[in-house]
Structure 1
Amino acid sequence: MPFRGRDYWVRWDDREEGYLRLNGWICVELCCGVKEIDIMFAYKDVPTLRTLLFICRSLVTLTLNIRGNMKVLSSACLPNLKTLHFEYSIFQEGYSVLRLISNCNVLENLEFIYCEFHGISEINIHNLSLKRLVLDFGMMHVRSLKGYNVIEINTPNLVYFKYIDAMAEGYTLSDMKSLERADIAITLLANVDYERATNLLKRICNVHSLCLDISGRSKTLLPTPLDPA
C-alpha cells in the first residue's frame, strides 16, 4: 500500500513536535520497504525530511509537494525508482537533485512543477531510461527566481515531453528519435527570445503530435520552415 503524508493536521503552535512525529512515520514506512510515497507539506520551510527518503532501495514512486527548501543528499540513489515528482520545491544545491536523476537507472517518469534550482547555471537532465519528462515553471518569468540560464536535456528514449516556461538563454537537446508527443507553452519576453524559441522547436519538430502555445509581442514567430536541426 502507498503511504501518503499530509501536514494539514500539524498545529501551528506545535509545529516542531508535529513534524517530528510525521517524519517518524515516514521513516518507519521506509524501513518497512514501502514502494510508493506521496508527501504534501503546505507550510514553508518545514523541518528537513529524513535522509533515508533518498536512499530507500524499495521506492518505485516518490511524489513530493513541499513548499520551501528541499535538501537532497549528493550521494542519493534510488535504484528501483520509476516515477519522481517534485512540486513547489526550492533546491538550494541544484546539482544534488540533478545527480540523483542521473543515478536512477530505471527512472521513467520525471516531473518538476514550479521548482527553483539555485547554485547552478544550467539544468542538466541526463537519464537514458527516461520516457516522460515534465518541466513546468508556469509564470516564473523572472529568470533569477529559477536560478539557471541554460537547459540541457540528454534523454534519447523520451516518448513524451512537456515544457512550460519563459525562454532560457540556451538549450541543448539530445536526439529524441522516440519522441511521440510534446506539449510546449513558452513566453517570449525579449526580441532575442524569438530566435531561441525557433532553435528549441527545431529540435523536436519531428514529433508525431505537437501542442504549441506561444505568448509574445509578435504575431510571427517562425518565418521559416521548422526543418530538424
Structure 2
Amino acid sequence: MDFVDRVLSLQGNSSIRKFSLKCETGVPPARVNRWLCEVLQRDVSDIDLTIDLGYGYYLPEELFVSETLVNLKFKSAFNIDWWPGAEGTSLPMLKSLCVYAVRVFCDDELQELLPCFPVLEELQMSNMQWLDSDETVSSATLTTLHITGIRSENPKSISFDTPNLLSFVYTDFVAEDYPLVNMKNLSLARLALRANDDQIKRVRGPNNDLLEYDVVRHFGNVVKLMNGIQNVQELHLCPDTLEVRFSVLFFLLC
C-alpha cells in the first residue's frame, strides 16, 4: 500500500496515461478509492482494475464523470454493483468498457446506460444480472458486444439495434421474442442460448400439441435473431443453441 502512495507521490502533478491496480482483501476500500481519484485528477485515459475486497465495495463516483477516460477494465472475484446509475454519469471519451465478476449488477437498464457513453465501441459484461425482462441494446458506435447474462427465467424480449457491430458474443436464456435485430455488418458471432431442463425435456419428448405450443412460444422467435445475423462471416453455436434452433425448424416444417 505504501508503495502505491510513494509511486503516485513521485509523479508529482504530472499526467498519468495508464493506471493498473490489483489488490485483495486487507486493503482499505477508502485507500483504493483515494488512489483512483488521484489518477483521475491527472487525466488518466486507461484504467485496469482487479479488485477483490469482498462484497460491498463500490467504485468512487468520480470514476463516472471523467472527461479523459478512454478504456476501463474492472475484474472482481466477488459480486459487484459497479454502476451507480445513469443520473449524473458522463464518460464522453470512453471507448472500451469491460466488467468481469461472479455477478455484475447494474442499477439501470442497458438502454439507460449506453447513452452515457456516446462514443463507446466495445462493451463486455460477464455474468450480468439483467434488471428487466424486456431489454434493448441500442448503439450506433458499438463494434464489439460480449454479454453473458444471468437470470432465473426466459426474458420476454431482447432487442439489438447495433448496425455497426462486428463481434457479437452472447450467452443468455432464450427470449420469447427478439423484436429487432440490426447487425448487418457482423463478422463474428458466438451464441449460447440456454434453456432450462424442463424445456429441453419437452423438446426431446414425444409430440404434444399443448407442450409443443409452449416450446414454440419460448423458442419460435429465435428465428428472428438468426435472421438478424444472417450476414455474419463466422458463426459459432453451442449445443443448446443448435438444439433450440433445429427443434423450432422441425416443428415449423411438420
CA pair 204-77 structure 1, distance change in 2 beyond 3 A:
same
Equivalent AA in structure 2 for residue 6 of structure 1: K
Structure 2 portions without partners, runs of 5+: 1-16, 200-214
CA pair 57-205 structure 1, distance change in 2 beyond 3 A:
same
Deviation per CA, 1:142-168: give whole Å up to 9, x if none.
238xxx643222111111111112212
After superposing on structure 2, the runs of 4+ consecutive aligned residues of structure 1 that deviate more than 6 Å are: 216-219
Counterpart position of 1:45: 55
Counterpart position of 2:81: 69
Deviation per CA, 1:119-177: give whole Å up to 9, x if none.
x332222211111111123xx46238xxx643222111111111112212322334322
* Cα RMSD after superposing both structures: 2.5
3-state DSSP class of the match of 2:44? coil
Counterpart position of 1:227: none
Contact 2:157–2:178 (8 Å) recurs in 1: yes
Alignment pair present for 1:99 and 2:115: no
Counterpart position of 1:142: 152
Q: CA deviation at 1:86?
A: 1.7
Equivalent AA in structure 2 for residue 40 of structure 1: T
TM-score (norm 2): 0.73
Greater fraction of residues in helix: 2
1:200-211 → structure 2 map (5 Å cutoff) = 200-211=225-236
Deviates more, 1:64-73 or 1:48-57: 64-73
Contact 1:93–1:117 (8 Å) recurs in 2: no
3-state DSSP class of the match of 1:133? strand
3-state DSSP class of the match of 1:169? coil
TM-score (norm 1): 0.80
Of 165, 173, 186, the match for 1:158: 165
1:73-222 → structure 2 map (5 Å cutoff) = 73=85, 74-88=87-101, 89-91=103-105, 93-95=107-109, 98-118=111-131, 120-137=132-149, 140=150, 142-143=152-153, 149-189=156-196, 190=199, 191-192=215-216, 193-215=218-240, 220-221=246-247
Q: CA deviation at 1:26?
A: 0.5
CA pair 212-219 structure 1, distance change in 2 beyond 3 A:
closer
CA pair 124-106 structure 1, distance change in 2 beyond 3 A:
same
Equivalent AA in structure 2 for residue 220 of structure 1: F
CA pair 219-46 structure 1, distance change in 2 beyond 3 A:
closer
Counting matched residue pairs gives 211
CA pair 187-102 structure 1, distance change in 2 beyond 3 A:
same
Deviates more, 1:174-183 or 1:67-76: 67-76
Structure 1 portions without partners, runs of 5+: 225-229
Contact 1:167–1:196 (8 Å) recurs in 2: no
Contact 1:188–1:194 (8 Å) recurs in 2: no
